[in-house]
Amino acid sequence: MSDLGHLALAQTHYLPIKHQGDVHNGKVRSVFWLKNRDNVRLIQERNYPVHPKTQLGVMITSDRLSAFDVIWHATQGLKGVPRKGASLNAVSNYWFQEFDKIGLAGNHILEVPHPQVWIVQKADQVRVEAIARQYITGSMWRAYDKGERKFCGVTLPEGLQKNQRLDELLLTPTTKGTLTGIQGVPEQDDVNITREQIVNNWQAFGFKSLNDVPQYETLLKEGCALADKKLRAVGQTFVDTKFEVGYVRTDDGWKMVYIDEVLTPDSSRFWDSERLTKGEVIENSKEGYREFLLDNSRSGLETDVLLNKQRFAKRQQMAKDYAVPSEEFMRVSETYVGMAEKITGQTLPPSTNAREEMLDALSEYGLVA
């Protein structure tokens, strides 16, 4: 275990990368927005196909492990999951390229200096986390099992069973961040919303035009259709995912693109297809780790704290106090690396010191302080 622990890059926002303003430090990624002179220089030197006034950033995908909206650590000094960040980037890069091949929207990535590093263009984010479901499982099943039938304005039929395939792809959007002043939408992050609410308040949700709402839905559905086809070819079943979109500036105005990550084991669920035909669900995503945390007999954690939004402060403290058995982190690593290699058809490159490797790569861009 100690041979692998040093490979996990958990702390990324302290890296000596030239930037302006605060580092945006999310649950998994850190973004260093570049100074204006570096923006101008790189656009010219690297011949990036962007508007001259585009804001560029260095996005680092860490090995941090987030579940139930908090960050976890493990025994034996593991602060992250070895090779997780490189796996996420490899999978996203693959899907973005596949989307380009069939003419879907572009994305925010301009260059990949290192397996855990992207040079990105800043996008105006649409404040909708677009969740697409092909099966009823996870949080939706837990709610359905307790009697809920209406999800984001869509009523599901009676009699569905856990892990059953739905008749059609179901879009269940939630808010991205806290939005204010929208009738019927609580002022808190990650709350369910309906299509009607989006259409009636499209500007508040960050859309540039009302016509962009059906366009965003098309991007979700076509992206999921491609994923379903490609994953079946490698023995995996596409279960559900989330997409995020935003706008980048062009000479003609604004263009909607995919942002963040797409169709990774962090943001999606994948099941082993062969085992599914035998009635077994084998998770090949972060859901397996969530199930470990929810299994009190294995983790010893209080399930209600993990699921109850009203006890989020208690959950944060619990994640600080509880050290996950290191073997669970290594199982996550095996799952992520295995899925990255299965999806992309490529061996994930080895790494001995990701921090120094990425700084070496970024020094060629003149971005190391």
Q: Which domains does the chain have, with CATH numbers?
A: 2-122+341-363 (3.30.200.20), 124-277 (3.30.470.20)
Percent of the chain whose pLDDT exceeds 70: 98
Q: Are 240 and 134 in contact (CB under 8 A)?
A: yes
Q: What is the mean pLDDT of residues 33-61?
A: 97
The pTM score is 0.94
- For the cut 50, the answer to whether the pLDDT of residue 73 exceeds it is yes
Amino acid letter, residue 296: N
- For the cut 80, the answer to whether the pLDDT of residue 177 exceeds it is yes
Which residue shows structure tokens 């992206």?
223
Write out 170-227 in H/E/C secondary structure.
EECCEECCCCCCCCCCCCCCCCECCHHHHHHCCCCCCCCCCCHHHHHHHHHHHHHHHH
Query: Per residue in 315-354, pLDDT tens?
Result: 999 999 999 999 999 999 999 999 999 999 999 988 888 9
- Residues 188 and 182: their CA atoms lie apart, in Å, by 11
Give the per-residue pLDDT at 7. Answer: 58
- Residues 185 and 178: their CA atoms lie apart, in Å, by 10
Query: Per residue in 76-123, pLDDT tens?
Result: 999 999 999 999 999 999 999 999 999 999 999 999 999 999 999 999
Q: Are 282 and 272 in contact (CB under 8 A)?
A: yes
Name residues whose C-beta falls within 8 Å of residue 39's C-beta, 6 or more positions apart in sequence.
54, 55, 56
Coil, strand or helix: which one is 68?
coil
Band (pLDDT 50/70/90 cuts) for residue 3 is very low
Q: Which residues of 168-182 are buried (b: 16+ CB within 10 A; e: fewer)?
A: eebbbbebbeebeeb
Band (pLDDT 50/70/90 cuts) for residue 4 is very low
3-state class percentages of the chain: helix first, strand second, coil last, to nearest 5: 35, 25, 40
